Amino acid sequence: MKKQGTARICVPVCVSRASEIAPAIARAAEVADIIELRLDCLTEADFYEVERHLAELLQHSPRPLIFTFRPAEQGGQRELGQKKRFDFWCSEGSKLTKDTARYVDVELDAALFLAKAEKYLGTTPDWSRVICSYHDFIDTHSDLEQIRERMNRTPARILKIAVQADDITDCLPVLQLLESARRSGREMIVIAMGAAGILTRILAPSRGAFLTYGALDEKQKTAPGQIKAIELRDLYRVHQLNHQTEIMGLVGQPVGHTFSPYIHNAAFAARGMNAVYIPFEVHQLNEFMNRMVDPRTRELEWKLRGLSVTAPHKQAIMRHLDWIEPSAQEIGAVNTVVVKDQTLLGYNTDTDAALAPLRDVIELSGARVAVIGAGGAARALLWILRDRGARVTVFARSVERATEAASKFGAQCERLGGASFGEFDLVINATPLGTRGYREDETPAIASQLRGARIAYDLVYNPRETRFMREALTAGCHTLGGLDMLVAQAAAQFELWTGAEAPFAAMREAAEKAVMSDK
């Protein structure tokens, strides 16, 4: 079995023309430990050309190769009849596995056929170079162990199971397959596909998986939730992760837009820590907290040390905590969880961080401030603005829902629809409207509403310039984005989790780079 901490990143090459294979392999080799050549991506004519010249075409590959001929129902790029696949593996399987730097990925049905027909075939593949694979893009099965047992009937040395994850807890049975494989002496590749399964792509190699897949770029992703190979290598540092790695992560829905992994992983690297920060796409918070977080009930053995919490879970997570700092308790929202021994501690680092961009542009005492929204971020703002002596009005679509938060912190409350902000010194968007991938083209206020306001501040940090900010610029406002707040609250979280001083400069630099690369 592969030792923990010796990860392999496999980069799929999926091109349609034979002439594109060699340059694509050369590009993939820059970041890959192993390369998968997806023969099903080729056009019919190019496939036959490649098949005739396969050995000579690929003999100079700079990395070990996996050959895959996947049917559409198993995630392939075109329809492939069963006979066509079986005939291909019968004729080519032995040739492709003669070289010790080559593997073949054969679907479970074809592997069972080859194993059964072995005595009738003139040649057979070297089963030590065979990956027997199973894919389901619809569901995470409850009978994954039964599927693995079927795969064990083949002589394949490496087994691969990839299934769709609808929520993060679907990762649990997938990762548990690695323990079963360890007991049986088989190598295994496990993947929970989709945004909810990202943690399996990052952590599985450190738990013994044969490899993990990373895309060459955004356009070349061959499965849902696939991360870019360069991010696996440089951002998540999968080659350095092991069973002792401490784990932190962002709990939210959605989390695909977040810059937090860039900021926190840069901090861990700067401090030389064996730690990683992962986005956790969580739909069912209760299940996640009980089955994966709480040390007294969780079903996963991992060194989870802390969580960032974002929308929509900042308030709901409080019921799962053993202790909450008084200010966060009064705010009614937690954005940071520390796992300490057998307990879960809650904090809110949004309060001071939210004021970081404002220190040099406005005196808050006596200032007229409009806060748009009434969720967890808004509540943190209301608490700190009250503390600084600002005169605050909350604007929300539902006044009935927002009145409780407003009155608790001594603020007025008005309906957002048709509101005018011209009399305010500061207008703050504390809603997720405008976030990359989340109603990105929307804004809680337009230029005509903002005209006359002095400063417009958007807590959204991705994209760097939101529609709200563009509308504010048109209205003549001074504008501020949420990146400074993000870095400030992340630095406070780092110190709570680790007890070490946050490397603020490295975190800020990582945030700036993430902004530039996301354009």
DSSP-derived 3-state class of residue 177? helix
Distance CA 66, CA 13 (A): 10
The kind and range of the H/E element at 288 are: helix 285-288
Where do runs of H (alpha helix) occur along 291-413? 326-331, 350-355, 376-387, 399-408
**Is the separation of the CB atoms in 274 and 242 below 8 Å?**
yes
The candidate with the shortest Cα–Cα distance to 5, out of 231, 213, 237, is 237
State the catalytic residues.
Answer: 314
Distance CA 462, CA 483 (A): 8
Distance CA 467, CA 443 (A): 6
How many Cβ atoms from other residues are within 10 Å of residue 53's Cβ? Answer: 11
Which tokens belong to 143? 């009978």
The candidate with the shortest Cα–Cα distance to 259, out of 91, 267, 377, is 267
Distance CA 45, CA 340 (A): 60
108-140: b (≥16 Cβ within 10 Å) or e: bebbbbbbeeeeeeeebbbbebbbbbbbbeeeb
Who's near 140: CB < 8 A, 6+ residues apart? 163, 164, 165, 166, 170, 173, 174, 192
Q: What is the DSSP letter of 271?
A: T
Which tokens belong to 176? 């548990």
* Residues facing 13 on adjacent strands: 37
Q: Amino acid identity, residue 16?
A: S
Q: For residue 397, give Cα distances in angstroms to 59, 385, 418, 438, 445.
A: 64, 21, 10, 18, 12
Q: State in Å, rounded, how far the first CA of the chain is from the last one.
A: 42
Which tokens belong to 94? 């032995």
Distance CA 275, CA 467 (A): 36
Which tokens belong to 238? 């999968």
The kind and range of the H/E element at 221 are: none
Q: What is the DSSP letter of 3?
A: P
The candidate with the shortest Cα–Cα distance to 459, out of 381, 394, 385, is 381
How many residues are given for the chain?
519
Distance CA 156, CA 149 (A): 12
